[in-house]
Chains A and B, each alone.
Chain A
Amino acid sequence: MLRKIGDYVILMGQALRRPPKFSIFRRQLVHEFYSLGVTSFLIVAILSVFVGAVAAILVAYNIDNPLLPDLMIGFVTRQMVIQEFSPTIICIILAGKLGSQIASELGTMRVTQQIDALQVMGINAANYLIMPKIIACLLFIPVLIIFSIFLGIYGGYVACDILNIISTEDYVLGLRSWFDPWTVTFALIKTVVFSFIIASVSSFIGYNVNGGSVEVGKASTDGVVYSSILIIFFDLILTQMLLS
């Protein structure tokens, strides 16, 4: 375990260096923006709308008390979506999509000797392959999460409207009540940490594949599993640290 952590730190040390040619790094980064970020918009959009709608229904079901005003549904839905559902649940979903994509891509490059080819040419393969993925995730996943927050809240609005849980006016009033901007900062801090976990852990696992197609498949699964576990673990730590 300690050895793995040490190897991970060494790999990140190699990866997170100044790229030798910025024009090539920029090209790689644009490619990763598309490959990892833009292609994730649809899944994030669909999940966010449904998660937001379910959150509103659940809140309405659980606080069905005449002493609590209807606007509480909008308020609690907003807090849940901003603080937990979007940054954590969507990041776990992204760990599934991006984590497996990154680990299997690098794993395949390893077993087909493409990484060896880079190393023999004298190129820092970790820097060339991993850094654009990490930077793309750090810059793009927060954008996806902000998008997800809006859609999640909109999903709650649609649920209220279609299912007649409460009036949409009360829902919107709830959304606008007791807003603390720190919750958005909190969500973005979590997102940045989770983005780094997704990109770096999956890269580490994929980069160190040893074997053939079976090992690439296993690396893909491990990338998702370890990223998800670490996200949940750091969710607990960051929530305690930032909200206590």
Chain B
Amino acid sequence: MIRIENVSKSFGDKKVLKNVSAEFEQGKTNLIIGQSGSGKTIMMSICTGLVEPDEGEVFFNDRRFSNLPERKRRDIRKEMGVLFQGGALFDSMNVEENVMFPLNMFTKMSYKDKLDRVDFCLKRVNLENSNKLKTKELSGGMMKRVAIARAIANNPKYLFCDEPNSGLDPKTSELIDALISEITEEYNITTIINTHDMNSVIKIGQRINFLYRGQLWWKGDKNSILTTENKELQEFVFATELTRRLR
């Protein structure tokens, strides 16, 4: 479980997060949703330690993570897997080297064991026999899948996904959503997904946190979000013509 307590963050005069507290449950897909500029990305960056909060704390299973020197965070970091918006694959490496990278850095496994683990992870994301492909040869969906394979290679306890569906067609988006959801349940991972894709919200939103102007405005799940009386959330959920008509 990941817990954030009273987290605030400002950039100059602009307050991006205002006293946000939330809990992200283990074995569930925890979504952070909200409009662009609502503070989703900063909240995730604070959780992953890329940005320090001005106030408040972040805990990973009751282990404090925020405002600690980097060497003291290393043990928790080894338990994290992150899927970045663009995949963030290392373009000097091929698919196999990308997925093997965390194993090379943090384990003493033999090359054969590492290769077996890479093959397993690639098979898990339906990319078997893609080991030697260069990153420039991959489509957007394949990049995301390789990034997922890299994220799970080291058996993470916490998985962070920053807009996993951005730039993907609806079918591939569904595939990525399903994959993240399956992996979360299969390995009992605490997964946090940052998204504004309503399809993902309805499909995999087991726990949903709605951010509005830097504040945690609403909490719920994929069922309660459709019947909410919260005006700001309604505006967000039914913002498109399609969702309005379906409503």
Interface residues of A (CB under 8 A from B): 20-21, 24, 31, 112-114, 116-117, 119-124
Contacts and interface: CB of A to CB of B under 8 A. Distances in A.
Contact of B105 (A116, A120, A123): A123
A64 B2 CA distance: 82
B104 to A, nearest CB: 6
Interface in B52-83: 70, 73-74, 77-78, 80, 82
B73 A122 contact: yes
A112 B49 CA distance: 18
Interface residues of B, number: 23
B90 interface: yes
B88 A116 contact: yes
A21 B104 contact: yes
14 contacts: A21-B105, A112-B86, A112-B91, A114-B88, A116-B88, A117-B84, A117-B90, A119-B49, A120-B49, A121-B80, A121-B106, A122-B73, A122-B80, A123-B105
B105 A112 contact: no
B41 to A, nearest CB: 11
A120 B102 CA distance: 11
Contacts of A122: 70, 73-74, 77-78, 80, 106
B50 interface: yes
Per CB-CB distance, the 3 closest pairs between chain A and chain B, nearest first, are: A122-B77, A113-B88, A117-B88
B48 interface: yes
B35 interface: no
Interface in B139-198: 160
Given A117-B84, A120-B50, 12 more contacts: A113-B84, A113-B85, A116-B50, A117-B90, A119-B49, A121-B78, A121-B82, A122-B73, A122-B77, A122-B106, A123-B105, A124-B70
B105 A24 contact: yes
A116 B104 CA distance: 18
A114 B73 contact: no
- The CB with the most chain B CB atoms within 10 A, among A31, A112, A122, A124, is that of A122
Given A120-B80, A122-B73, A122-B74, A113 B86 contact: yes
